[in-house]
Amino acid sequence: MTQMSKSVGNLFGIQVFPKRATEFFKRIVKDNIEKREAEGIVRPDLIHLLMEARKGKLKPESGGDNREGFAAVEESQIEPSSKEVELSDEHILAQAMLFFFAAFDTVSTAASFMAYELALNPDIQKKLQEEIDSVKSKHDGKIPYDALLSMKYLDQVVSETLRKWPPNFETDRLCVKDYLIPSTNPDEKGFLVKKGIVALVPMMALQRDPQYYPEPDRFDPERFNDENKSKVVPGTYLPFGMGPRNCIGSRFALLEIKSVFCHLLGKFDITPYDKTEIPMKLSSKHFNMQPEKGFWLRLNLRKEGSS
């Protein structure tokens, strides 16, 4: 499906989004752009960044906040292209829709799997609740942005969830020039990847490979503690892809997931019950990570005295 050309999609009338939703979103974005341009309105958001990019005024940022989380995609080290690309309203609309829908889909999927793992691992859930309670007690029952980013165990749990249950099974990249992958055996030739080939990167297979992650089916947030996260082999942890074409909503998604669980676990315990599928079986009818029988968990109000 991800490799299907636009012409094939048009031939069979296949649409990613319903036409009504697309027209609604298109109208909002177009009206917003016209109003901002006419009245000189500036807001620090995605639409403004895309409008600045269209004018050629957007400069690449150097680095980022390293507290955003282990799973946050690092900025690509590839030099930005000097080639000018004309951004139409359609391009801006496409990027806005991708950011909005992809981020929310990723958040709902990742949050559901994280809730499932916490329900099956009450010791991990309790430790995470203790961290949440501790931070809340220092900030009058609230969790400010800076405090949220400083929560190490929360980041470990989110990172491990995305390792075991990445948002997608695989991603792809188009080879733009011939590249020879050298052989590890001196008696064998390397493998030539030719220009124009689409290479599939099996994210889930890499992140469940025991060569890189011992006992890969075990949910263990300690893989990403301060001591162990530096041992993660580059290129084996790809929940949001990597390189210049990584997921643009990774930081937004991580912030949402962390915020959701700070509120949820402050009030509730998540537990399994008779309809909870153990072990989880993934559906073969979906292109992304979805359980065969859905997510069935129970929320129990925490005892008085909890946050």
Q: List residues forming the annotated binding site for heme.
A: 247
Closest-CA residue to 2 (of 188, 193, 164, 198) = 198
HEC assignment per residue over 106-171: HHHHHHHHHHHHHHHCHHHHHHHHHHHHHHHHHCCCCCCHHHHHCCHHHHHHHHHHHHHCCCECCE
Evaluate whether 268 touches 103 at the Cβ level (below 8 Å).
Answer: no
Alpha-carbon span 109 to 71, nearest angstrom: 15
Residue ranges for the known binding site are 247
